[in-house]
Chain A
Amino acid sequence: GENVEQHPSTLSVQEGDSAVIKCTYSDSASNYFPWYKQELGKRPQLIIDIRSNVGEKKDQRIAVTLNKTAKHFSLHITETQPEDSAVYFCAASLPGNQFYFGTGTSLTVIP
């Protein structure tokens, strides 16, 4: 099955700086890569996703890039704010299949 690795496990940045979280996947057939943000004790919320037919997608301060050849994808958050502090999970999915989640990155934005 698919194997998703996520780095780093923890990340601290100063407010206003950028944060980058990276994930790799093993199955080249995976074609959908969502990113979820989970605040303590709450549900994971979909923040951005990308499909294998595009290399980059941006939504305001959040962007995701995908390198299919290298089988890795990254989440970029610019101009970080304290409310960006949360745990972020990447996932990879084969067509019509379950999601395989990364181990999560705990992001802390220091005011």
Chain B
Amino acid sequence: GAVVSQHPSWVICKSGTSVKIECRSLDFQATTMFWYRQFPKQSLMLMATSNEGSKATYEQGVEKDKFLINHASLTLSTLTVTSAHPEDSSFYICSARVVAGWADTQYFGPGTRLTVL
């Protein structure tokens, strides 16, 4: 299947700082990427849909000024958690949408574990 990478895999930061997470599609171009947040033992919560060359679409309740998303190329989307606070600590996972013929699915990155002290 398609390969999606994510960097960093884990990060610890101080409260008030900003953290940038990168999501890359390694062997294909992705016009659409998704950003999810996952709490322990819970399902994937969609935060936003990232479309190359346009503004991201945020889900209800997700602060767009706090979670900045940039999809500047067909292989890279970034999520920046601005002014991070302990409640932002979570597992953040991106996925890239793959459309090929009849196939239309998502492949996930390995996730980034963010801990805000």
Residues of A participating in the B interface, judged by any CB pair closer than 8 Å: 32, 34, 36, 41-46, 49, 51, 87, 89, 93, 95-96, 98-99, 101-104, 106
Contacts and interface: CB of A to CB of B under 8 A. Distances in A.
B25 interface: no
A96 B34 CA distance: 13
B87 interface: no
B27 to A, nearest CB: 16
Interface in B45-99: 46, 49, 91, 93
Given A43-B93, A49-B105, A89 B44 contact: yes
Contacts of B109: 43
B110 interface: yes
Given A89-B44, A98-B34, A98-B49, A44 B93 contact: yes
A49 B41 CA distance: 23
Nearest to B59: A98
Interface residues of B, number: 20
A44 B43 CA distance: 11
Given A89-B44, A103-B43, A96 B93 contact: no
Contact of A46 (B1, B44, B104, B113): B1
Contact of B111 (A32, A42, A87, A104): A42
